[in-house]
Amino acid sequence: MLSIKNIHASVEGKQILKGIDLAIQPGEMHAIMGPNGSGKSTLASVLAGREEYEVTEGSVTFLGKNLLEMLPEDRAHEGLFLAFQYPVEIPGVSTTNFIKAAVNEKRKYRGEEPLDAVNFMKLMKERMAMVQVDQSLLSRSINEGFSGGEKKRNEIFQMAMLEPKLAILDETDSGLDVDALRIVADGVNKLRNENNAILIITHYQRLLNYLQPDFVHILYDGRIVRSGTKDLALEIEQNGYDFIKDGVNAAAL
């Protein structure tokens, strides 16, 4: 589904990703962990198409297409979804209208008719129940005045509405209390199936108490330095990132 080959990327002339390789198949859940500044969010931004990140080397193929050549909106239409680490507040744009526009733009891209008001509301109600989001959030402006937890739940709700093939969850656990974390994780688990894939980007292991990744990768200094199973996350939880750093730095000497 997603094939990342030797990606190098920089922002404002500073090299952040220094050669990343990663392959994700349908039905898989991957987690990328790493200390602050290792390049986790840069990787998410590069995949979603943020313009200030420049890819200097390497390639990314998504469902057989060159992802890096696509506009951010077309990446979304092709089935890529980024749950933002910091969802943006947009006063004056209602959440419902925004999601309706997003759903219908995707349908248009696929050559489908737009959903009418009745079917859209039906879909919305169903997905609201699935990810436990309240109607009152959706009648407000996008993320305006939402708590940290509400913003993250709104991200998962949008994921439920757009049914992506690959969802990237960028630090979705940050700023959540235990209850909100559980609700968000439940939502993700319900949305998971054999045809889609999920890439979790996180600093801490705690989200992984609720989600069961098939693979865990450790990102450090712009490279994946170790890959393994869920046990690797537990190892990080116990020992912190220092043993990884020490190992990498020792090898470099």
Partner 1 sequence: MMDLTYFKHRFDELQAETPESPITGLRRESLLAFDRSGLPTKRSEDWKYTSIGELFEKEYDLKTDDSPDRAVTSAAIDSMRLPGYLEANEIVFVNGHYIPSLSTIRSPSGQLTVLPLEDAATGTYREVIQEHLGCSSAYIKDGIHALNTAFIHAGVFIRIAKGIQLSHPLYFYHFSDARQHPVFSQPRSLLYIEQGANARLAETFNTLGTSDSFTNGVVEVVINDNAMVEYYKIQNETVNANQVSTTHIRQTGRSYVHAVTITLNGGIVRNNMNVVMDAAGSEAHLYGLYILHGQTHVDNHTLVDNVQPNCTSNELYKGILNDHSTGVFNGKIRVQPLAQKTNAYQTNNNILLSDDAVINTKPQLEIFADDVKCSHGCTVGQLDENALFYLRARGIPKSEAQELLLQAFSTDILDQVKPELLRTYIQQLITERLTDHRK
- Could you list the residues that contact partner 1 (CB under 8 A)? 48-51, 71-73, 75-77, 82, 84, 87-88, 90-93, 98-99, 101-102, 105-106, 109, 141-142, 158, 162
Torsions phi, psi for 241 (to 5 deg): -85, -10
DSSP state of 180: H
* 213: exposed, middle or buried (Cβ count in 10 Å: 0-12, 13-18, 19+): buried
Structure tokens, 7: 């990606």
Complex with partner 1: residue 102 or 128, whichever CB lies closer: 102
Q: Tell me how far apart the alpha carbons of residues 178 and 191 are, in angstroms, rounded to a whole number.
A: 20
Q: How far apart are CA 44 and CA 169, in angstroms?
A: 8
**Cα-Cα-Cα-Cα dihedral sign, residues 29, 221, 85, 178:** positive
CB of 92 to partner 1, least distance (A): 3
Rounded distance between C-alpha atoms, residue 226 and residue 62, angstroms: 23
The nearest distance, CB 44 to partner 1, in angstroms, is 10
Closer to partner 1 at the Cβ: 45 or 205?
Answer: 45
If the CB atoms of residues 142 and 180 are measured against partner 1, the closer one turns out to be 142
Nearer to partner 1, 6 or 147 (CB): 147
Residue 143 C-beta: closest distance to partner 1, Å:
9
Q: How far is the CB of 90 from partner 1 (least distance, A)?
A: 5
Q: Could you tell me which of 57, 50, 110 has the C-alpha nearest to residue 84?
A: 50
CB-nearer residue toward partner 1: 37 or 91:
91
Minimum separation from the CB atom of position 50 to partner 1 (A): 6
> The tokens 């990140």 sit on which residue?
53
